[in-house]
Structure 1
């Protein structure tokens, strides 16, 4: 430590000691000294003492009524504490202190700049950790907080960082609009020269995303020149790193890429930036991977791990850091990238040299990369950020499954199949299960937060963005979200078992599949659609097999088939094309699997095709696959395992809703005949509640839902793949998917959504379709029957009535729906035999058999006993009577 710093520290300590020994009251000057002393201790590496000094200053601020201290000074202390806790990888504490700084800055306008600094630090933190959507939220909130202070330098930085978040979310048009806003502000600012480096960096990033790579390099070079001139080593490294990436991955100029990377290392070593060094080593390793220098690539990935603060220095290339070491690294983004690239290198090393040890090393490293994804998931409470990483990790799962295929390791294949899909839904189900560990007061408080968020989301969706109320609602929602996250964090500290259950990442095993998920006559079929191949995993009571098939035209064929079958007119006009597509998909992706089980449970990936409408024989236009198999579908095998089993000894109760007419403001056509059909359905049940017409309200649905085992809804629904939130109509109102989140862990076992498009919504890779059916699944309902496209009332009513007739005979839902569809095809010659009319209805989730009628056998036994006893009594009495007559005669 330089002598000048030691002298400075000693002087500060002397001044603070003088204040503490004197009898004078603590004042703001004393607090400034405390802040400076704590700051200098942290800067010189004495974090324990420095943080303790800063914390002591906070105590004086909180007791400012007894001193002459300015309570608003706590904003500065909160910021400094957060700043240093981030350097120590204490991310939760960092976020807590920055949030507190913003809170104080809102209360005391003179601390505005401290609040803006805190917004900027939070935004950068979430950017660097892959939470781009959260970064966007913070940028917007920071700009709202800033109001009309657009000339402030930190406000300009928020705009520039918002551009980076938009680009990372691939929102190019919005990013360009945002940069136009920046240029407008800079044209009115006297400080525009200060931002030349960052503006050029952002323009380089934007040009790169738009595919203008040469222009991007020019912008990055301008940013680099400015940053070097002003000794801004952080921005110098970022510009060089991005130039290297373009030369490496786009322009195929590895030598120029390597030169850029090596220059950036010089700046990073000056900065002592561990994460930056690990990132550059990772990029150099990837460069060698592309050149097929596998051993050199592995050496650089290992150097990337060495650079991180995880106490890992093992030079043996097959050795990986432990998961506890990865947690210490503090940046799941870079640890994921290093593990993924290292695993990919081992896989290609195996293909080059054929050594199985490399394949085994690839498998273990892929599993470690997946554990890094788990850590990201735990730290990212925002669904959009989680979705980003699900999409980013898709290629990793494809290579991991290929590794399992080469090793014939079906257990590990099932692991990666499961980890590649429906993580948001599984998280929701874990949260529902975790609630059993909360006391009633905390459970009620969490429910209150959920209701507030849903209410604000609904208000926002109905408010124009140009309205002044939109900004007010946005601010309110952001604050509720922050408070909710703090509350959840407090639960995780207060209830360790809640935390453990909520973040349990174990997946279904092959033993679980055969013993707990599948019925004895049922097989599982899971698909993974990669860029090059489609992988299928089949499991039954006797065996498990991984299959590999070229992806071919599968995506195009699947989309075309769904477009054809979801339109009656298109299907009529192009039936020969339908036969060709349905047969080709059968030949390529089902027949090779040689499944003999009558019942098949399918976990699809990316494309939801009703397999029952595939064609076995193109010469026979009605050789539908449904004739041989009863199909059901699931988001994942884990979804089935997380849901509870039905108590099969109880008689199932039915809730039926049929709003035949709708309030004028809902603008929905009448559903004539739905009430009559519902009344026919109830005849199959001993216990039921049925609401038709104006009685079929949203309020009645919500009040009665938890009291019934089976729910049947005849209604309208709206959902599409453009991302609008699916909603279901009642006679007086609608319910959104977001509102279903607050329903809790419902006891309902099966919900039948006989409405248009209830299974349709935005398809998210790795997650499935965000539909009404999925919303009810997230509320804990283990099974649903849903419509993938709209069909007419006659088909809807007939299929429903035939289904319940079969269900009442003791068949589980998949077999009951199969029987209903086969009977519908047989009973309706002509157009109604088209798959358009019957293939839309599918079972999603667990297939249950229900007792729909009260068992009256005991009553017959009772009557028989009464009759027998009566006859015996009658015979005895008659005999006594005859005996008495004979004696008197």
Structure 2
């Protein structure tokens, strides 16, 4: 990842780096401000010379005038010169004085001008690395823009431009996109300006980092023509060339990209813009890295020469890291380590390594202002150590260094994640940092460190889900009024986000919705930060990084007849860790195309006609995957829990014997699936007797336009006989509000309905009689007391796969809301088969079987009794995700006993009456 790519975000800020032209009105003495503006606009003067001249103007002004609004503008300019020259303390002091004057009622004081000073003091704090204060001043500047839109365009624009620089620099690419969408809709007077195009190109840059090439393509194609016209020249045209070059490199057109980078560099060199020249060199390196590393190195060497006067700069740190990474690819490991150590020394002040393996402490890293940079340098260094270890044939000393290194890298990744505000950014970095865990697991395998392998496997998956559960648990430390406010703000933000998702990107309605959502989301995030400061226990629980140990998994989670399989699918290799109470093992899976074959098998199985006509292919792939994925050591255990990675495959349909078409794994082992072992431990609930809440719309209101589900209500009635204590809602009573009203009243929830989802990013959505509920709304259902939800709707287990995190499905949404187990559906299945399987499941569950065994027995009986429905298409799509507990039904006989006691009491009274009659 490119540290310096952020430079092109600030290339065009040069025009404002000395602050703003001093605005005038008819009521101000133009004499003084004209003098200041003349000095400020003189290109021949240095910053120091400008400072001296404006300071002289200030002194002359005070000879005959009081400190009024004109004086505030003069010291505003002086303060900005001092900021540029590095005297931040004096700059901030002068800006505070200017603010105080413009807030008073002295002559010529103007409230709108506070926006300019707020913006400049925000820039000062940002350059000092105090982003929280910078953000507060940027907010103040923009709030005045809402009040004075005509007078405050520049500070409003620059405030958001600077904020996106920060968010982009720390890898918050989705946050950057969100902020730019907000700015494009909220800044008055932006439409049709060159600044609008600049912000759009910045959005395109962030979209490229997120891998959204098509959206970025549209932006770049529409924007480059504007800059090549007469509307832009000089540094702005250089910025456009550089940005377009990045786009061309991203779409694998390196020669064209090189042409545009060269054009940009020519312009920058003529103007003497060193930072922009370095940005272009950096992009040239990234364009050719891994294609032609020797050529890529030439650009890094050029940058290193230019940076010789600036040894402690972030640019130099990035260049050193890139040289190290290139040397690693060239197998020059000793030289690579030398450059990595130099880069870390710049990133972490006070770090003085004694050897090439030593790293800074976590405490030292916490003092830095950008965990992202440190994490990425450590990632590059870890790759070098890992490859060096492999070359040295798993030298135990190097392995020890490698494992210590990867533990630290993992801790810094945690810090980076907590410092990110959007789910999109977090999801992006989960995928980007996954290779670190692949290297770590390989090192654990070489060292036979099973505990370490389990740790890194756990940290490589469902971490965002774990964070959600931790935050939900931390809410118990918050008082009722704050809980209510948190829920209210979160509800507003999610509702407005859903409105935004319905709008066409780039439209006027989209821009308005972006403004509404971003403001609501910002209020929610601000309140969460307040909670973290006011409730130390909430903060501590929320950011607890402890991981379940192998001993805990064996002793507290696994039953004696259970085995646990955890998979890791990497870029170079895949691994399986198997655990039972009496054994542990770790193996490398040599197969290279697991994901491809798993996807092929799923596609085949989910299509009844294809499966029926091409069962031979199914059998071949299924049996091969069984051999590759299932270790011999766990085949003796009747119950198996699977923690998948990269793909979600129902192991039930894997064929265990190539000579027997019906030797499905289902027949020998009960399967369940989990997001991680930690999820199982975090979601233990008390052993109670269970009641059932069932919901089946059967038919839908005309607005919903969903096909009816005839027979769903009848199936619910059959199920109620197994769980006598129940509440069933069907037809027009099966509304979303009724679902929400009764969700917390029962421990088992049964839904017969429709759902939509796909793997391409469409948000999963569950349908009720009157409306639907998207996955995002499930965030509002925190702390649901239910133990199990059965989602008997198509595709409830389907969603977008986020590498390093898992599938974002409806089932996962309910897991994040606190329900530890779900039965979910991976593809569309015929209604009658779904009803039969579900009814059989409840029958076996009510007999006291664990839920995984109950589902297994239901499928086996279905196979035995259902003629013409033996294909896995009919029965393999329903899977159990989460805990596999025993869920015995609560008796509804309590009320009968009450009635019986009443009758007996009445009879006793009657008998006593007759007995005592004279």
1:751 CA displacement: 0.4
C-alpha distance after superposition, 1:748-776 (max 9, x if no partner): 11100111111112222122221111111
Q: Which residue of 2 aligns with 1:762?
A: 800
Kindly indicate whether the alpha-carbon contact (under 8 Å) linking 2:625 and 2:654 is maintained by their aligned counterparts in 1: yes
Deviates more, 1:576-585 or 1:147-156: 147-156
Asked if residue 745 in structure 1 is aligned to residue 745 in structure 2, the reply is no
1:126 CA displacement: 1.8
1:10 CA displacement: 8.3
Pairing 1:104-253 to 2, within 5 Å after superposition? 104-109=144-149, 110-146=151-187, 149=190, 152-186=193-227, 189-252=230-293
Match of 2:362 among 314, 317, 323: 323
1:369 CA displacement: 1.8
The 2-side partners of 1:544 and 1:23 are apart by 86
Kindly indicate whether the alpha-carbon contact (under 8 Å) linking 1:785 and 1:844 is maintained by their aligned counterparts in 2: yes
Q: Secondary structure at the match of 2:545?
A: coil
Kindly indicate whether the alpha-carbon contact (under 8 Å) linking 2:675 and 2:806 is maintained by their aligned counterparts in 1: yes
The 1-side partners of 2:896 and 2:96 are apart by 76
Kindly indicate whether the alpha-carbon contact (under 8 Å) linking 2:72 and 2:97 is maintained by their aligned counterparts in 1: no
Q: Secondary structure at the match of 1:317?
A: coil
Asked if residue 847 in structure 1 is aligned to residue 884 in structure 2, the reply is yes
The 2-side partners of 1:518 and 1:534 are apart by 24
Distance 1:23 1:515, change over 3 A: farther
Q: Which residue of 1 aligns with 2:382?
A: 343
Distance 1:77 1:130, change over 3 A: same
C-alpha distance after superposition, 1:336-369 (max 9, x if no partner): 1211111111111122223221111111112222
Kindly indicate whether the alpha-carbon contact (under 8 Å) linking 2:178 and 2:514 is maintained by their aligned counterparts in 1: no
User: What are the ranges of 5 or more consecutive residues in structure 1 without an aligned counterpart?
Assistant: 868-889
The 2-side partners of 1:677 and 1:6 are apart by 83
Kindly indicate whether the alpha-carbon contact (under 8 Å) linking 1:421 and 1:635 is maintained by their aligned counterparts in 2: yes
Moved over 6 A (4+): 3-20, 22-25, 855-860
Match of 2:862 among 818, 824, 827: 824
Kindly indicate whether the alpha-carbon contact (under 8 Å) linking 1:366 and 1:396 is maintained by their aligned counterparts in 2: yes
TM-score (norm 2): 0.88
Match of 2:875 among 830, 838, 845: 838
The 2-side partners of 1:103 and 1:397 are apart by 44
Kindly indicate whether the alpha-carbon contact (under 8 Å) linking 2:699 and 2:708 is maintained by their aligned counterparts in 1: yes
Pairing 1:103-502 to 2, within 5 Å after superposition? 103-109=143-149, 110-146=151-187, 149=190, 152-186=193-227, 189-252=230-293, 254=294, 256-270=295-309, 274-354=313-393, 355-465=395-505, 468-502=508-542
The 2-side partners of 1:153 and 1:565 are apart by 53
Q: Which residue of 2 aligns with 1:30?
A: 71
Q: Secondary structure at the match of 2:874?
A: helix
What's the C-alpha RMSD, in Å, of the aligned pairs?
A: 2.9
The 2-side partners of 1:64 and 1:517 are apart by 66
1:808 CA displacement: 1.0
C-alpha distance after superposition, 1:733-758 (max 9, x if no partner): 11111111111211111100111111
Distance 1:305 1:523, change over 3 A: same
Match of 1:630 among 670, 676, 679: 670
Q: Which residue of 1 aligns with 2:817?
A: 779
1:531 CA displacement: 2.1
Kindly indicate whether the alpha-carbon contact (under 8 Å) linking 1:237 and 1:265 is maintained by their aligned counterparts in 2: no
Distance 1:519 1:70, change over 3 A: farther
The 2-side partners of 1:513 and 1:482 are apart by 39
Kindly indicate whether the alpha-carbon contact (under 8 Å) linking 2:591 and 2:628 is maintained by their aligned counterparts in 1: no
Distance 1:34 1:498, change over 3 A: farther
Kindly indicate whether the alpha-carbon contact (under 8 Å) linking 1:784 and 1:843 is maintained by their aligned counterparts in 2: yes
The 2-side partners of 1:94 and 1:307 are apart by 24
Kindly indicate whether the alpha-carbon contact (under 8 Å) linking 1:124 and 1:161 is maintained by their aligned counterparts in 2: no
1:263 CA displacement: 2.1
Distance 1:7 1:698, change over 3 A: closer
Kindly indicate whether the alpha-carbon contact (under 8 Å) linking 1:233 and 1:268 is maintained by their aligned counterparts in 2: no
Q: Which residue of 2 aligns with 1:887?
A: none
Deviates more, 1:436-445 or 1:814-823: 436-445
Name which structure has the greater RCO, CA cutoff 8 Å, separation 6+. Answer: 2
The 1-side partners of 2:553 and 2:459 are apart by 15
The 1-side partners of 2:270 and 2:539 are apart by 49
Kindly indicate whether the alpha-carbon contact (under 8 Å) linking 1:34 and 1:57 is maintained by their aligned counterparts in 2: yes
Q: Which residue of 2 aligns with 1:611?
A: 651
The 2-side partners of 1:192 and 1:24 are apart by 42
TM-score (norm 1): 0.91
1:78 CA displacement: 2.1
Distance 1:17 1:444, change over 3 A: farther
Q: Secondary structure at the match of 1:584?
A: helix
C-alpha distance after superposition, 1:178-230 (max 9, x if no partner): 23332443466544344221122122212211212122222212211211111
Asked if residue 92 in structure 1 is aligned to residue 132 in structure 2, the reply is yes
1:855 CA displacement: 9.1
Aligned residues: 858
The 2-side partners of 1:466 and 1:204 are apart by 23
Kindly indicate whether the alpha-carbon contact (under 8 Å) linking 2:185 and 2:512 is maintained by their aligned counterparts in 1: no
The 1-side partners of 2:754 and 2:218 are apart by 38
The 2-side partners of 1:319 and 1:535 are apart by 29
The 1-side partners of 2:516 and 2:241 are apart by 35
Kindly indicate whether the alpha-carbon contact (under 8 Å) linking 1:120 and 1:154 is maintained by their aligned counterparts in 2: no
The 2-side partners of 1:376 and 1:216 are apart by 31
C-alpha distance after superposition, 1:273-319 (max 9, x if no partner): 62211110001111211221111100000000122252212241111
C-alpha distance after superposition, 1:126-146 (max 9, x if no partner): 222211222222233333345
Asked if residue 572 in structure 1 is aligned to residue 602 in structure 2, the reply is no
Distance 1:51 1:494, change over 3 A: farther
Q: Which residue of 2 aligns with 1:876?
A: none
C-alpha distance after superposition, 1:413-458 (max 9, x if no partner): 1111111111221221122112112222222121112111221123
Q: Secondary structure at the match of 2:827?
A: coil
Distance 1:557 1:248, change over 3 A: closer
The 2-side partners of 1:69 and 1:147 are apart by 23
1:543 CA displacement: 2.6
Distance 1:8 1:175, change over 3 A: closer
Kindly indicate whether the alpha-carbon contact (under 8 Å) linking 1:236 and 1:267 is maintained by their aligned counterparts in 2: no
Asked if residue 587 in structure 1 is aligned to residue 627 in structure 2, the reply is yes
Q: Secondary structure at the match of 1:706?
A: coil
The 2-side partners of 1:859 and 1:592 are apart by 53
Kindly indicate whether the alpha-carbon contact (under 8 Å) linking 2:493 and 2:524 is maintained by their aligned counterparts in 1: no
The 2-side partners of 1:219 and 1:184 are apart by 13
Match of 1:530 among 560, 570, 574: 570
Kindly indicate whether the alpha-carbon contact (under 8 Å) linking 1:274 and 1:309 is maintained by their aligned counterparts in 2: no
Distance 1:445 1:127, change over 3 A: same
Q: Which residue of 1 aligns with 2:25?
A: none
The 1-side partners of 2:330 and 2:405 are apart by 21
Match of 1:676 among 714, 719, 723: 714
Q: Secondary structure at the match of 1:520?
A: coil
Kindly indicate whether the alpha-carbon contact (under 8 Å) linking 2:254 and 2:288 is maintained by their aligned counterparts in 1: no
